[in-house]
Chain A
């Protein structure tokens, strides 16, 4: 049982990272990014590429695919997403859903639909922790995910660009009147969201196999985590991710892993019924 919970926490750290990008984009420009999962999968494929062709370890390849997806995300935002910033939810869903489908098809065309996985040399080693044995990859991916979450937090808190991102989320007019170039800030925010998706994709590529169509469940999980933790700051998704990780591991031990994705959906319904403002969110 302890092993299950510990495994859940370790997985949850990666889930938390997975949701950070969606939470950031959602909170700042009020766009629920359905394409988020597809960006994660794209990050997985880039990591796979770097692993296959250059023999790069996923952790080393990660910064490269983050940079690539930052640029990709920035361009996508300026050309496409910027048209629906703070628009009605229907339009944001429509545009990002379209983007998801386009990305899925392009990935299927480029990489085929065969399931892939990145297995670095250490992927089958275990790590003993008193009476518990944990796969080493889970430990590595967890700590990398937490490190990136901390970096994100420091960036948002301590840099002028990070402050400008938060300011734009808190009061758009006031941001504009302070000389913050909000359109550029939106582009950067979406770029960072995509880069965080890439990081999560690099890590997920080591944890489970993926196909071009794996994005859907990732989007759903990220969405559930955002609802669980709220959007206000980087801690919300962290808590939400850890909770989802544990719930998933525990329930799949009882129910079998077939119901894995159903569990996050069930959790979503439960949260919306009990605490619509999220676990950490204030009640309206």
Chain B
């Protein structure tokens, strides 16, 4: 049981305001770890801190047992970490293929073209529309494209912020299937999610965040059994 990512006692915030008050989490290699919690509890801030976008005031972060605290996103991308934002973040006036080419920006090898085909074969929904502008895609397809784009660097760990937000239930299912699929291909995930019932089915370990602290953690099967407790915190 190895931890791909580990954060110890993270303190972070914006300006004077401290949002995270000593948070420790681990993401086991090959598994899906989830973060749940009410609005404004600091879930997105935690992901941003893990990815070097928010600089922590205290605590340490490790990736593959090497310290990465305060490294910038470019370094982390090169090391095999990726981050998909909570809000939509495709390049709207570019085609799917161009979006994927940009996902490979840090690569200098000659195999990018082949890799676009490989990634598109993982995302059949996008394959058919490869020459369409990303702005013309549905919300679910844009989410898929964001995932596909980060896959161009072959990350071992993807931080994913609310993949299901704003999508119809049927689409949400297909997104989770896609995540499950990528996980089967060996990608480790840390996922922030509001749809607690769904994510506890997919993930193996979970943390419940409230007001910048971990209030509850455990195997997702246990958390499902404690659903009353989980609900109480989410109110």
> What are 12 of the A-B contact pairs (CB < 8 Å)?
A160-B105, A167-B102, A171-B89, A171-B90, A174-B85, A174-B91, A177-B83, A177-B150, A178-B102, A179-B78, A179-B106, A180-B102
Q: Contact between A166 and B94 (Cβ–Cβ < 8 Å)?
A: yes
Question: Number of residues in B with C-beta < 8 Å to the partner?
Answer: 24
Which B residues are in CB contact (< 8 Å) with A167? 91, 94, 102
Q: What distance in Å separates the Cβ of A146 from its nearest Cβ neighbour in chain B?
A: 24
Contact yes or no, B91 A179, CB < 8 A:
no
User: Are A178 and B149 neighbours in the complex by a CB distance under 8 Å?
Assistant: yes
Q: Cβ of B206 < 8 Å from any Cβ of A?
A: no
Which of A164, A171, A173, A175 has the most CB atoms of chain B within a 10 A radius of its CB? A171
Closest to B84 in A: A177
The answer to whether A163 touches B94, judged by C-beta atoms less than 8 angstroms apart, is: yes
Q: Which 6 A-B pairs have the closest CB atoms?
A: A174-B89, A179-B106, A179-B77, A170-B91, A167-B91, A179-B74
Chain B residues with a Cβ under 8 A of chain A: 51, 73-74, 77-78, 82-85, 89-94, 98, 101-103, 105-106, 149-150, 153
Q: Contacting A163 at CB < 8 Å: which of B83, B89, B102?
A: B102
Interface contact B92-A176, CB-CB below 8 Å: no
Majority secondary structure of chain B interface residues (helix, strand, loop or mixed):
mixed
Is A232 interfacial (CB-CB < 8 Å)?
yes
Question: Is A181 a contact partner of B94 (Cβ separation < 8 A)?
Answer: no
Assess the B73–A174 pair: CB atoms within 8 A.
no
Interface residues of A in 222-277 (CB under 8 A from B): 232
Complex alpha-carbon distance, A173 and B105, angstroms: 14
How far apart sit A82 and B66, CA to CA, in the bound complex (Å)? 34
Residues of B within 8 A of A181 (CB): 74
| A163 adjacent to B101 (CB under 8 Å) | yes
Is the pair B90, A174 in contact by a Cβ cutoff of 8 Å? yes
Give chain A interface residues in 73-113, CB to chain B under 8 Å: none
A166 lies within 8 A of B93 (CB): yes
A sample of 9 more A-B contacts (CB under 8 A), given A167-B102, A178-B106, is A170-B92, A170-B94, A174-B90, A174-B91, A175-B91, A175-B102, A179-B77, A179-B106, A180-B105
**B91 CB contacts on chain A under 8 angstroms:** 166-167, 170-171, 174-175
- B103–A178 contact, CB under 8 A? yes
Digit string of A156-197 for contact with B (CB within 8 Å is 1, else 0)?
000010011011001101111111110000000000000000
Which residues in A have their C-beta under 8 angstroms from that of B84? 177
**Complex interface: chain A residues within 8 A of B82 (CB):** 177
Q: How far is the CA of A129 from the CA of B77 in the complex (A)?
A: 59
Q: Indicate if the CB atoms of A173 and B85 lie closer than 8 Å.
A: yes
Give complex CA distance A272, B135 in Å.
Answer: 27
A160 touches B90 (CB 8 A): no
A189 CB to nearest chain B CB (Å): 16
Closest chain A CB from B197 CB (angstroms): 29
Closest to B82 in A: A177
Question: B85: which A residues are within 8 A, CB to CB?
Answer: 173-174, 177
